[in-house]
Structure 1
Amino acid sequence: MTSDTDTRVLYNAECPVCSFEIGHYRDYAEARDLPIRFDDLNGPERAQWGLSEDAAARRLYVLKDGTLHGGLDAFLVLWRQMPRYRWLARAVALPGVRQAASALYDYVLAPLIYRWHLRRKARARA
């Protein structure tokens, strides 16, 4: 059961990279009964997020305590909720590391995964 205090993750379940990584986090959270809910941007839950499908597909989003986090900040919020990944959140949040990781995610990884998503959608329509 979820509540308003749960951490919510919005991800693209149709993306192989996203579904693999978030599937791992979901399995970990469920096995430990952590208050984290995972919403597929392709499902009806996306409407609750107030994001278009395109905006939601461009990066990871996490909602925690009424605040929407995107990109690397979303990962940090998620990792802080999971005991096994708290060390990673601390390490990536360090000055310098955070800026480099954020740039890598924002300018390389997220755009690459997003373009891959658009190509998959175009092939599915063809």
Structure 2
Amino acid sequence: MSNETRVLYNADCPICDAEICHYRSYTEQRDIPVAYDDLNSDALAQWGIDPETAAKRLHVTANGELYSGVPAFLILWQEMPRFRWLARLVGLPGIKQLACLAYDHMLAPWLYRKHLRRQAKARAS
């Protein structure tokens, strides 16, 4: 991985894809150097993450470091002027811990279960 900010996301998840498409559009329109990799593509091999781990949460690399979950969102939001206020707010002590708990124990598992159901449905078709 390079030092540029890169986002690994699940384009097969309608919720994830919609959110990341919004960020991608924003960064591209403003020439903000953020790259986006779909975990369902060959790009996943560059991340050194297995497909299951990748599908369970958002991953971002920046300055050679790998972040996942809420810390990944904080890195991504910090890159975009419109979202820096959100990065500052969610990064505050207490709020960050609550956001991590909500993402790690509710939102990410729910999205992952939906992902597994979509995969099972696709295999059954």
Tell me the TM-score range normalised by the shorter chain.
Answer: over 0.9
**Partner residue in 2 for 1:86:** 84
Distance 2:112 2:32 in 1: 29
Relative to the length of structure 1, the TM-score reads 0.96
Counting aligned pairs with the same residue, the percent is 56
Gaps of 5+ in 1: none
Secondary structure at the counterpart of residue 67 of structure 2: strand
Distance 2:116 2:51 in 1: 11
Distance 2:96 2:37 in 1: 26
Aligned runs of 1:42-81 on 2, under 5 Å?
42-81=40-79
Shift of 1:5: 3.2
Give the residue type in structure 2 aligned to 1:111.
Answer: P
Give the aligned CA root-mean-square deviation in angstroms.
Answer: 1.0
Distance 1:4 1:75 in 2: 19
Secondary structure at the counterpart of residue 101 of structure 2: helix
Gaps of 5+ in 2: none
Distance 1:4 1:74 in 2: 16
4+ residue runs over 6 A deviation: none
**Partner residue in 1 for 2:110:** 112
**Partner residue in 1 for 2:14:** 16
Relative to the length of structure 2, the TM-score reads 0.97
